[in-house]
Amino acid sequence: SPGTTSFKQSLSRFQYTTASRSSSKENVDQKEKPSSTPASLKRKRTTTTTIASTSASAASSPAKKKRPSSKYADPSKYAHLKPLVDILEPNLICVFVGTNPGVQTATAGHAYAHPSNHFWKLLHSSGLTDRRLKPEEDRSLPALYCMGNTNIVSRPSKDAAELSKEEMAAGTADLEAKFFKYKPEAVCIVGKGIWEAIWRYRHGKNPKREEFRYGWQDESENMGKSGEEVVDAEGNVWKGARVYVTTSTSGLAASLKPAEKEEIWRPFGEWVRKRREERGFMPRP
């Protein structure tokens, strides 16, 4: 695995990192001491105490209101919105894989256009870009940085919960075909949920906690492989694009702190910069 031991260790934390006791004694005491209180009043007092106790307990533990979760939405709901154009060219150093366009992104026609999304910020802070790009500059990624972008599902929706597992599975097959065609060196999966969907498609089950990790994945998980051996013009055998899994960049994904997200993104940025230098890549106008 291309990731260093120290990086794995630093990421390990992200993986999968009143009843009274004296009641018997009171009962004995009550038997020993005769009471002048009528039994009917005793029962009434006990009932009142029980109701008061129950009311106090309910007041101290108010029911929590649950936020309603989004559910699957038929594609017709967002049929007025257009899918994003894939930003792909042959032999890119890397291609980012998002879930699908959100409503605001589809409306703008540019990747990660919602103001709360941290994609462009993380690209810059990790060194993948030398400045913070605007969403409107998304199609300049191949020319300026030898990078591209696509999604596992092309149709827009409010959020990932409005997509079906069948769509995610079909999207995985589409990704494999795209990467076989364009042959990037690596693909960067932008979010744990996307990688879990790809894993389900490949292995027929959800990954166990110990099977998931951020960062570089095993070579056996490369994407865009074919059943046949493919050799390029230089005699190199195509073994598929290497896979690096990063955090989601959505503003709603708050399970990790910003500094923790940057720590996961940074090694990938270092690797891409190194590959640009080794290739002698020069930005195109």
Task: Classify residue 22 by its DSSP letter.
Answer: T
Question: Which residues lie closer than 8 Å to 177 by C-beta, 6 or more apart?
Answer: 224
Q: Are strands 237-238 and 230-231 parallel, antiparallel or unpaired?
A: antiparallel
β-partners of residue 95 are 148, 187
Summarize pLDDT for 177-220 with one digit per residue, the tens: 999 999 999 999 999 999 999 999 999 999 999 999 999 999 99
Summarize pLDDT for 81-102 with one digit per residue, the tens: 988 999 999 999 999 999 999 9
**Domain spans in the chain, listed from the N-terminal domain onward:** 90-279
Which pLDDT score is estimated for 10? Answer: 52
Contact 106, 78 (CB under 8 A): yes
* Tokens linked to 122: 């993380």
Summarize pLDDT for 4-17 with one digit per residue, the tens: 445 445 555 444 44
* Tokens linked to 174: 């589409």
Q: What is the mean pLDDT of residues 23-28?
A: 43
Which DSSP string do the residues of 73-101 spell out, in sequence order? --GGGGTTSPPPPPB--TT-SEEEEES--
d(CA 56, CA 62): 10
Question: Which residues lie closer than 8 Å to 201 by C-beta, 6 or more apart?
Answer: 168, 169, 172, 173
pTM of the model: 0.74
90-279 placed in CATH 3.40.470.10: yes
